Chain A
Amino acid sequence: MARLSKGIKKRKIHEDGAWAYAFIAVALVVYAMFTAYPVVSAFLISFEEYKPLGSTFVGFENYANTFGDALFWKAIRNTIVYTALTVPVALVISFAVAILILPFKKWLQTAFKAVYYLPAVASGVALSVVWLWIFDPLPSGILNRMIGLFGIENQNWLGSSATSMFSLVLMSWLSSHGTSIIIYLAALLGIDNSYYEAAELDGASFLQKLWHIVIPFLKPTTLFLLVTGVIGSFQVFQNAYLMTGGGPDNATTMVGLLIFNNAFKYFEFGEAAAQSLILALIIAVISYFQFKFLGNDVEY
């Protein structure tokens, strides 16, 4: 009996494709080393005062410091504001551009996709330099010249609390929609033409087709882009780091920047790890509610 079961097991593994495990192992090992290991490591470090020559266990001190830090809560608030202002608008822009590209021939679609994707390929630092030039605070600055045409006084775009957050949001609105456009376009191309034909036979207008066919069919895509957009936006770092450094008066200090500063400026890796895990928890809770309230009637 034992011999028989051993034989079956052996065959089973072979039949199920033992080689497949080898293929999966590649991804699994990469995931384990570059995602799971750092996460577990960060979890452990969050209870330590990290030093290269030997860390000391400090219990929940890093978490207590984080919860008692007014700057952390300000950074959370800034990040929520930034996310609320950027993600929905980014979805609308991407969706609108995808709809505009859709009727074109394939080669023209590809050309537009490439053009819109270009900012994602360009260096973020190079783009920031261009934006710094656009946001030049003196009257000679590009944006100031533009608003000057409407009789508006020149603005200290990145140097004033009133405009610095808006400046970062504007930067987000006007760049890097390439990935979302490509995903939306792929989803749009996946909608069967028969739905449009049926709607046309019923005399549906463009807006009716959009509302009753396109938007419902794109709901899984929209949910995916919303969830990934919110996650990405909560982790925003580069723009604040390069454009404002978090200022003025911490008006643009995002959680990502705060974590970076704690880790790499002050070498407080324990506190930075604790803040990272709290941020991960916040993102997980938000994602859960997004799926719960927006993903109910989504069919994949």
Chain B
Amino acid sequence: MARKFRVLASVLALSVSLSALAACSSKGGDASSSPSGTASPSAGASEAKDTITALLPPVSANYQNNFEQMAKDFNALYPNLTLKIEPASWEDMTQKLDTQVNAGSPPDIAFIGSDGISKYVQQGMLMDITDVATPDMINDFDKAPLEYMKKGDGLYGFPAYMEIHALGGNKQFLEEAGIDWKNVQKNGWTYEEFREAIKKGVVKEGDKTKRYGFVFANAGVTSKDYLNILIKNAGMPSAFTQDLKYAYTSKNYLEVLKAVRQLIDDGSMPKELSSVDAGKRWNMFLTGQTMITGKGLATFENSANKNNEKLKANDGSAVEGSIPVEYIVLPVPSFLGQPPVSSPAVDGYVTFRGKKEPTPEHKANVVKAAYFLASGKVAATTNNELFVAHITKSGREAAKSMTVNRNPDNVAAVEVLLSHAAPARPDIPVELGAKAIKLEDEVIIPKFQALLANEITPEDMYEAVKNAAIKEFGQDGVVQD
């Protein structure tokens, strides 16, 4: 018995040592087992078998349920290719991907926001598909969203959709407050008009506010969405001007900060705004505690409609205390006479490479898979479910046979918003972009949260941002107006 135990212990020690060593020997791993399929000798011919890996989150409610069918359809289209999809939750997505990227073995394709592209380009882990994507593929996409997948001269994947970060209103409350929302959808509104409108939306019971005019999610990093959609409409569509000067040192920036405080001080927004998260403000919207909410995504109309149906059917899973809501898409107000610029969020299928240079054949296969996911039936199904506009000709074609229950006024409003969406800025060097992101995370967001909590003045925040920007980009690297 003792002898057996000793042998068992030795085997265990040996196996632990070997497995640990094996775990550390990825650098010398077999090229054919690389997720990028790098240097696979069998990939020499275009008809050679190949596997493409994709890390995909639940883009829409039923998206992950369709993975099996998507893989089958892809294989039917390209019998020599296998699309291996690894599902991930939204919460895990970044962590999973970052771990794989930093280990030098990312998936071939991952679904991420286009704003994440520069981070991975800087790491050298994205695959430029400019020379592999065919003209047919490129021409299938609308130009504006495709530009978001570029950095410098490189194209790093295909966009899935271009979603506008707008505001959402409760039709009944808007009309009760005398707001001509149809006109606002068509012609937009100025900050002053917006300020008066949301004042009218406030309902009080004694000292307590029963309903706010406007509630935007601002807890933690979500506050950057709020600030970003406002400053885009104040003559700063990007963090950098066309001559690559940091824009948020402009005087207009200070005016936006003053407006942010003003809306809270008016009582139109809650003073606890800095702690209101996305779930809370949506709950407030559905339960009639706010007239307008933000950020408003197209899919919210779908969510509101579903909740309305549950209320009608006396379904217990309807949001507790909710009321029937007709969701109205509204634009963000513009400031200081500047033209309206809506904030697009372009997400898509980004193409990665491993530590070793991928073979041309594998690269071509990855592009086929990315295009398959971003266009045609897959894109049409997903985008319809999300209520977002189609951005490919093939997607529009495939969507013709699908029915979507959308408010036509909202569809038209989104079209208007898309027409003046902020253009992509692939010309901003990745190093400069990375510095701006760090400045945003370490100075702008913390100071903005303090501003929302009424702990600093707009002037204090403006000075802090300006000083940090000058330190980072130099006197000549920032806008001085």
Q: Return the contact of A137 from the options B275, B437, B442, B447 (Cβ within 8 A).
A: B275
Do residues B453 and A160 form an inter-chain contact, with CB atoms below 8 A?
A: yes
Interface string of A49-84 (1 = CB under 8 A from B): 001110000000000000000010000000000000
Task: Check: A211 CB closer than 8 A to any chain B CB.
Answer: no
Binding site for B on A (CB under 8 A): 19, 22-23, 25-26, 29-30, 32-34, 37, 51-53, 71, 132, 135-139, 154, 156-162, 244-250, 253, 261, 264-267, 269
Interface string of B179-223 (1 = CB under 8 A from A): 000000000000000000000000000001000000000011100
Query: Which residues from A are CB-within-8-Å of B280?
Result: 136, 138
With known contacts A52-B123, A53-B125, A244-B220, A157–B16 Cβ distance under 8 A = no
Do residues A52 and B101 form an inter-chain contact, with CB atoms below 8 A?
A: yes
Task: Check: B446 CB closer than 8 A to any chain A CB.
Answer: yes
Chain B: CB-nearest residue to A135: B275
Known: A23-B13, A248-B453. 20 other contacts (CB 8 A): A19-B9, A26-B9, A29-B20, A33-B23, A37-B24, A52-B355, A138-B270, A138-B280, A156-B274, A157-B275, A159-B219, A159-B449, A159-B452, A247-B446, A248-B450, A248-B452, A250-B446, A261-B441, A266-B119, A269-B102
Do residues A248 and B276 form an inter-chain contact, with CB atoms below 8 A?
A: no
Q: Return the contact of B104 from the options A34, A53, A253 (Cβ within 8 A).
A: A53
Query: Which residues from A are CB-within-8-Å of B272?
Result: 137-138, 154, 156, 159
Do residues B453 and A161 form an inter-chain contact, with CB atoms below 8 A?
A: yes
- Nearest first, the 7 A-B pairs at minimum CB distance are A248-B449, A137-B272, A159-B275, A159-B274, A245-B220, A249-B450, A137-B275
Do residues A267 and B102 form an inter-chain contact, with CB atoms below 8 A?
A: yes
Query: Which residues from B are CB-within-8-Å of A138?
Result: 270, 272, 276, 280
A selection of 20 A-B contacts at a CB cut-off of 8 Å is: A22-B13, A23-B13, A26-B12, A30-B20, A33-B20, A34-B20, A51-B123, A51-B124, A52-B102, A52-B124, A132-B277, A138-B272, A159-B219, A159-B274, A159-B449, A161-B450, A245-B220, A247-B274, A266-B119, A266-B434
Do residues B449 and A19 form an inter-chain contact, with CB atoms below 8 A?
A: no
Task: Check: B475 CB closer than 8 A to any chain A CB.
Answer: no
Majority SS of interface residues in chain B?
helix
Query: Which residues from B are CB-within-8-Å of A51?
Result: 123-124
Chain B: CB-nearest residue to A37: B24
With known contacts A244-B220, A265-B441, A249–B122 Cβ distance under 8 A = no
Query: Which residues from A are CB-within-8-Å of B449?
Result: 159, 247-249
Do residues B270 and A29 form an inter-chain contact, with CB atoms below 8 A?
A: no
Task: Check: B134 CB closer than 8 A to any chain A CB.
Answer: no
Chain B: CB-nearest residue to A154: B272
